[in-house]
Structure 1
Amino acid sequence: MASFLKGITATAVVNGSVANVGAALHYKDHTLPPIGIDPKRLKHPEPGVGDIRDVIHNPLEEPHRKSLIPIGKADCKFLFIVGGDDRNWKSDIYAQIASQLLVEEGKEKPEIVFYPKAGHYIEPPYFPLCKASFHKLVNLPVVWGGEPKAHALAQVDSWQRIQNFFHKHLNGKNVLKNKL
């Protein structure tokens, strides 16, 4: 949204992709096609369960660049929350790509917070870790990554950071203190 809409001043991205995924995205006269996948890169950590981290094509290579979200058009501050054990996609690499694209467009380098042992679903604090669930696009259960304790700590810390980020960039002040 920050790439297409005016008036957005702060954006927090939790394990996001730099490419459009799943279905074509249409906004006014602009269409982002979904990035392709290579099903041969699907791994099976156990029978009947998939690990899809490596199936999405590289969004920086042609012809997949057409799916790249034009993040450099955004006029806002960014916070990227990244789980180092995200098994959905390469959110660690995507945050670095987003940072590079923003800097190339003359934008401020975003804040990136990396949690090495957190998985894909870094939700608000005290949500249980979702180790695996059915993925409609893949049509089978997939793993999401994360070690329980580290993931839980990432949820608590990231929630405080996200709130502080929004308070700072929307209200102009820090009001929350991290306790970790």
Structure 2
Amino acid sequence: MTDAPAPKHYAPRWNSDPRPDPPAVGGERETLSAVLDWHRATFELKCAGLPPDRLSEKAVPPSALSLHGLARHLAGVERWWFRIQFADEDVPMLYYSDEDPDQDFDRLDGDVDEAFAVWRAECDRSRQITTAAASLDETGVRKRTGEPISLRRIMVDMIAEYARHNGHADLLRERIDGSIGV
């Protein structure tokens, strides 16, 4: 171990950042759950304080991405992985059909606050499903292939999904009002 000095300059944090840091040491389930929740809270933070019309703004042309669209997309992803594939719940897809697969981003009709409420409710249901599982080794079924997929893998994939889209949210928010921060 070296005695190198700690860096003096860090990435800026959001003002009044309410997110608890994930544990630096902990079990696998605790760590995966905390990191996924940190990413969920990061997305929420990136959207906080903007009026509905700005949340729907496609601020990085020619991309169709908006914060509103990302909320719709992430609600659908939460439902798809945790409820439909893992828990085998018989619930409809959100903002998706085979005829119109990009409606989460392309169709921003409806109430923005309602879209965020749906996303929060899907996150809550995902947490309930994760908590109820006896082990990260429990499996659901990938609808595309019929093969088993573990809760562990779903959680890892969801962390990657949020990390990718939080990067998008960073760019969108900075373009909308100049706000930056980890």
TM-score by structure 2 length? 0.29
Q: Which has the higher contact order (CA 8 A, sep 6+)?
A: 2
Higher gyration radius (CA): 2
Q: Greater strand share, 1 or 2?
A: 1
Q: Greater helix share, 1 or 2?
A: 2
